[in-house]
Chains A and B, each alone.
Chain A
């Protein structure tokens, strides 16, 4: 993680990039209260890849939406670089599943979508760069419905990266892909992350996925979600997913969640 050569004292005082403090969320629906998040505390360092892992329906998307500024926390707050989040902001981009691409725009149009403030020339330049980064050369003029699920997902990631955000929120981005494409997309994402070093909050319900990707895995409980444990994944990339350390970390999370991994 320590990609910048800062001296030890500087690093020690470096504040967290993202800090979640005492966040709770209660939805009110039809007069009933649904308690979704219960006092979540969490920090992410600059350039860190954090996975939020939990069962479906526990409140992961809710937490990510609060961090993205799309929802308000009932109590508590989230700050980024010390500044409180209270609305969406192009400095932190939310990547939905591939559903988020605009079907009425070409690949190029989608990737350049957030660049409307830039001069034309620079815009073109950036689009070309990100088309290449996500390996969609030759598809610049294609419309999303002509692309596979994995390609659409690449478009979304490229669209997010193109505006050069410091934070990326990914909400089960590969959940709708087949398992082979999912594996490929994971290593692609790591490659891009290593190239650009964004701070990433990545939501998933897939234990393997979290251990393959993250610097730290935040394991959440069922609803109302609390943090059960935070697991540091101290394996350098590229990770050998049959190494003893990988298996040990993976199994400890399985145990934490209370699952015997026998089928």
Chain B
């Protein structure tokens, strides 16, 4: 991509923000704070020390829930994919659990962990675990039989087959799954924080409304969630550029 094409979104954004500011000013709106009010809101949060505190609190929960889910869900999924019997045994349970929104677990999460980090982390874990398990399972199932047979033909042991064929073959799919799942985890943390804890960006939004209808802070919270979400996604996207993985994404 050329630089000028990379910069293309900037004018569009400038137009949108100007239109937002102008229409709020013209209409003297009380139902929507303008962008400038939102900027002031973010600065206020920074001054009070809440900005960093809430961002860190949200990232902390996402990190724990997501990393735990990855550490358990991916190996579990790989095992299910590798041992067909495992898949046969567990797949029905997985399929039943999958359509249940992680948010439906909120009451149970609070019952088990109380209001606090534990409940939020548990919810993020739940939201990330199944997608990662299913991704890993399908990735193994989709390894071409010819690749495995070639490995066996060259005299690889079962262990070498796993390290030299299974891992590299599933890596691109796992990276994509990790990226999508991090997006889900970030969606869920906001919802979880609205109910199950009293800090974090989700809490900020609900608290700003409850304690004084501070809609500038509500939107400030939304903007922060958006920006951090983009940064997380861009970080994961960078992983896809690794040479040994790029083959999995079609084209070059």
Contacts of A144 in B (CB 8 A): 247
Question: Is A55 close to B, CB under 8 A?
Answer: no
Given contacts A145-B252, A146-B252, contact A104 B169 (CB under 8 A): yes
A113 within 8 A of B: yes
A143 contacts B by Cβ under 8 Å:
yes
Produce 1/0 per residue, B216-252, CB < 8 A to A. 0000000000000000000000000001111110001
A102, B154: Cβ atoms closer than 8 Å: no
Interface 9-residue window, one of B1-9, B21-29, B145-153: B145-153
A70 interfacial contact with B, CB 8 Å: yes
Shortest CB-to-CB span from A74 to chain B, Å, is 20
- The answer to whether B154 and A100 touch across the interface, beta carbons within 8 angstroms, is no
Q: Is B165 an interface residue (CB 8 A)?
A: yes
Q: How many residues of chain A get a CB closer than 8 Å to chain B's CBs?
A: 23
By a CB distance below 8 angstroms, the chain A residues around B114 are none
Are B169 and A100 neighbours in the complex by a CB distance under 8 Å? no
Q: Does B11 belong to the interface (CB within 8 Å)? A: no
* Residues in B neighbouring A93, C-beta threshold 8 A: 153-154
Evaluate contact between A104 and B244: CB separation under 8 angstroms: yes
CB distance from B228 to the nearest CB of A (A): 32
Tell me if A90 counts as interface (CB < 8 A to partner B): yes
Cβ of B168 within 8 Å of any chain A Cβ, yes or no, is: yes
How far, in Å, is A143 (CB) from chain B's closest CB?
6
Apart from A99-B144, A102-B147, list 15 A-B contacts with CB within 8 A.
A68-B153, A89-B153, A93-B154, A99-B146, A100-B146, A102-B150, A102-B165, A104-B168, A104-B169, A104-B248, A105-B244, A116-B160, A143-B243, A143-B246, A143-B247
Q: Report, nearest first, the 4 A-B pairs whose CB atoms are least far apart.
A: A114-B154, A104-B168, A103-B247, A90-B155
Q: Can you list 28 A-B pairs with a CB-CB distance of less than 8 A?
A: A68-B153, A70-B149, A88-B152, A89-B155, A90-B153, A90-B154, A96-B150, A100-B146, A100-B149, A100-B150, A102-B147, A102-B150, A102-B165, A102-B168, A103-B247, A103-B248, A104-B168, A104-B171, A104-B244, A104-B247, A113-B154, A114-B154, A143-B246, A143-B247, A144-B247, A145-B247, A145-B252, A146-B252
- B residues lining the A interface (CB < 8 Å): 144, 146-147, 149-150, 152-155, 160, 165, 168-169, 171, 243-248, 252
